[in-house]
Structure 1
């Protein structure tokens, strides 16, 4: 076994990208740490997030600290800034997205149990407080990442990465098998 080279990686990733049948977007509400925003941006670029909606007191994706953490991947993303979460949710819905909040809430479902095979915008909340009550009320659905350890929550960037992967995994599960990446 050997690691893949640059051209082989591009072919492999392209073969998975062809299986993306649904759009994925992120809406950040009050994610204040530019380092978390930068980490989310890098994950978003890796998983073909179509749009990043930024609302409230979220750190600017173009800030030097966010850009440093994103390692240049910001150039692959489109983002828009909205004064509040309600305006951002309206923009996401106008673009055809089903808005799914990511929150540990009483009526939330495990993400793996939800049907996410559609255009989805994941609504992500503040590092400490999660989603605001108004944001929760605007969601079409709310999901959470089940955890079995002794820690009750994940870092917001990690939770976002897990949630993005689950959306993609569900779409990939219905798609034809991926080849080894050798064919053009």
Structure 2
């Protein structure tokens, strides 16, 4: 399996097999007088910025972007179990970056497929825990509520659960789901209401829904009812 992530300037593959030139990403060289400030990258100002970043961060140095993100990260963490090289992890990291999670935690195997992250792992803090026990000890030491997201007989609906501000949302391996060790360590296990024929949605989709639920609760003050 290829663990190499695409470069930030790399566009998605064309559906016609590459016969059409890919759309140019980003912006060209800076036009006009050069701006002043330590956060500007002289090479990007001269050559253009083709990275996948929001307009605010165009031409910024990488370390300046990370420092600015660090100054306003949210209080929730994301963790995902990685015992079988789960392909969802890259997408979870990308979504965690979008919602500005404090950190992403990989439990189990250190190596994970970064392709789905689309280089956002360069801006998102990712921490590795070799075992569930290591992860639980770390979370408890940080005073974080461990919240499992999975379908268990004792699961309660995410839609009616008041997510705590300081928490870590944990997702299991695609297929087997959360391990019993994580389930036992969690202060609550939440399920996502579904209405179709499939038993579950994949971990990346579940992570996006759960992160947005935290954002709605703590950034928009939308308290749950029922």
Asked if the contact 1:39–1:70 (Cα under 8 Å) also holds between the matched residues in 2, the reply is yes
Q: Give 1:81 shift.
A: 1.2
Q: How far apart are 1:30 and its partner, in Å?
A: 2.5
Q: Give the aligned partner of residue 29 of structure 1.
A: 81
Larger gyration radius, structure 1 or structure 2: 2
Question: Which shifted more, 99-108 or 110-119?
Answer: 110-119
The corresponding residue for 1:159 is 206
The one-character-per-residue Cα deviations of 1:29-71 (angstroms, maximum 9, x if unpaired) are: 12634531110010000001111121113x625xxx41x2211
- Tell me, in whole angstroms, the C-alpha distance in 2 between the residues paired with 1:21 and 1:69: 22
Residue 150 (structure 2) aligns with: 103
Q: Which runs of 4+ in 1 moved over 6 A?
A: none
Tell me the secondary structure at the aligned position of residue 60 of structure 1.
coil
For residues 31 and 153 of structure 1, do their structure 2 counterparts lie closer, same or farther at Cα, with a shift above 3 Å needed?
farther
TM-score (norm 2): 0.63
Q: Does structure 1 residue 46 correspond to structure 2 residue 98?
A: yes
8 Å CA contact retained: 2:85, 2:111: no
Matches of 1:47 and 1:69, distance apart in 2: 16
- Cα distance 1:36–1:89, how it changes in 2: closer, same or farther (>3 A)? same
How big is the shift at 1:132?
Answer: 1.0
Equivalent position to 1:118, from 155, 160, 165? 165
CA offsets 1:123-173 (integer angstroms, 9 cap, x no match)? 110100001111100001110111011111001111111111111111123
Query: In 2, distance between residues paired with 1:114 and 1:22?
Result: 19
TM-score for both structures, normalised by structure 1? 0.76
User: Partner residue of 1:88?
Assistant: 135
Q: Which of the residues 92, 106, 111 maps onto 1:60? A: 111
Q: What CA distance in whole angstroms lies between the structure 2 residues aligned with 1:140 and 1:34? A: 25
> How many correspondences in the alignment?
155
- After alignment, is 162-171 or 39-48 more displaced? 162-171
Greater relative contact order structure (CA < 8 Å, 6+ sep): 1
CA distance in 2, matches of 1:141, 1:162: 17
Change (3 A) 1:21 1:40: closer
1:136–1:149 distance in 2 versus 1, CA, 3 Å: same
